[in-house]
Structure 1
Amino acid sequence: MTITFINLPVRDLLSAAEFYRALGFTTGHTEPDGDSMVLTVSDNTRLLLHVRSAFEAYTGVPTSDPATSREVIVGLSAESRERVDELVDRAVVAGGESLGVGSTNGPMYMRGFRDLDGHQWSFLHLAG
């Protein structure tokens, strides 16, 4: 089985973890140094949150500012259009920023948001 690991720098580890728990991600464990935390998104996906200084030490370069630049957009699938809307609505209630109404492109329905640190995410459903 292949597991995907999404690593993100955050300003406040506990607030970021609380935000993602509101989306249904489950807390795995905090690293012994207290600067990183692992959350389970699904059986095959983990989200690793790192305080910015730990992320920079790990990567060896400064982090970019998500308010002025975009390095990646994280997209996750959902089982229905309704679930896409539910997840984005939950993100907004938890303090995230909606990127507007959902959009349809052929069989794909997608809706996006930015998390507490400005990282851009989208949930999408592929009808099929």
Structure 2
Amino acid sequence: MIFVNLPVADLDRSRAFFTALGYSFNEQFCDGNALALELGDNLFAMLLRTDFYATFHDKKTVDAREGSECLLCVSADSREQVDSLVDKAVAAGGTEGRTQDHGFMYGRSYDDLDGHTWEIMWMDQQAADMGPEAYAAQNA
């Protein structure tokens, strides 16, 4: 299992945002301090109230709207799924980020309501199996 912990300003607002994107939450790990956003089998983003997040470390908590503390990359099954998810995020109040199109690999990103950057990526399975350079050489 992996749990990525992210500070958020408002749990209700975060729940509404990620629900609009089609995600669900593991209610066993949700309470007044945290939401367990389900990203896949045994993959979670723990959305923690900022003050609660601060109890887990001794450093200053970064405001993701002002600085980058990490990039969260989630795979998609198709280019269309990449577009659909990012479009939903922007419609729900997120901010559109960069687009990368390398033919065999395609991705777009968005910043959520708290400024965390989420990259949604798709890669052609044959390219992933061969390695991007070998795939590019074969298709040149």
TM (normalized to structure 2)? 0.82
- Name the % identity: 36
2:119 is matched by which residue type in structure 1? S
Unaligned runs of 5+ in 1: none
Residue-by-residue CA offset, 1:10-49 (whole Å, 9 max, x unaligned)? 0001101111111221121223xx1111121111311111
Aligned to 1:123: 120
Q: Given the alignment, which residue of 31, 41, 48 partners 2:46?
A: 48
Residue 35 (str. 1) matches residue 40 (str. 2): no
- Which portions of structure 1, spanning 4 or more consecutive aligned residues, are displaced by more than 6 angstroms? none
Larger proportion of helix: 2
Aligned with 1:92 (options 90, 93, 104): 90
Q: Note if 1:69 corresponds to 2:86.
A: no
- The aligned amino acid for 2:100 is S
| Other structure's SS at 1:75 match | strand
Residue 79 of structure 1: how far off its partner (Å): 0.2
User: Residue 69 of structure 1: CA displacement?
Assistant: 1.1
The one-letter code of the counterpart of 1:12 is D
1:106 Cα deviation after fit: 5.0
Structure 2 residue runs of 5 or longer lacking an equivalent are 126-140
Q: What SS does the aligned partner of 1:83 have?
A: helix
Q: Counterpart of 1:64 in structure 2: which amino acid?
A: V
**What's the RMSD between the two structures over aligned residues?**
1.3
Q: 2:109 pairs with 109, 112, 115, which one?
A: 112
Task: Provide the secondary structure at the position in 2 that maps to 1:63.
Answer: coil
Paired with 1:79 and 1:27, the residues of 2 have a C-alpha distance of 21
- Correspondence for 2:55: 57
Task: Measure, in 2, the Cα distance between the counterparts of 1:117 and 1:94.
Answer: 13
Helix, strand or coil at the partner of 2:18: helix
3-state SS, counterpart of residue 15 of structure 2: helix
SS at match of 2:26: strand
* Distance (Å, rounded) in 1 between the aligned partners of 2:22 and 2:4: 16
Structure number with the higher strand fraction is: 1
* Structure exhibiting the larger radius of gyration computed from Cα positions: 2
Task: Give the aligned length.
Answer: 123
Residue 53 of structure 2 aligns to a residue whose secondary structure is: helix
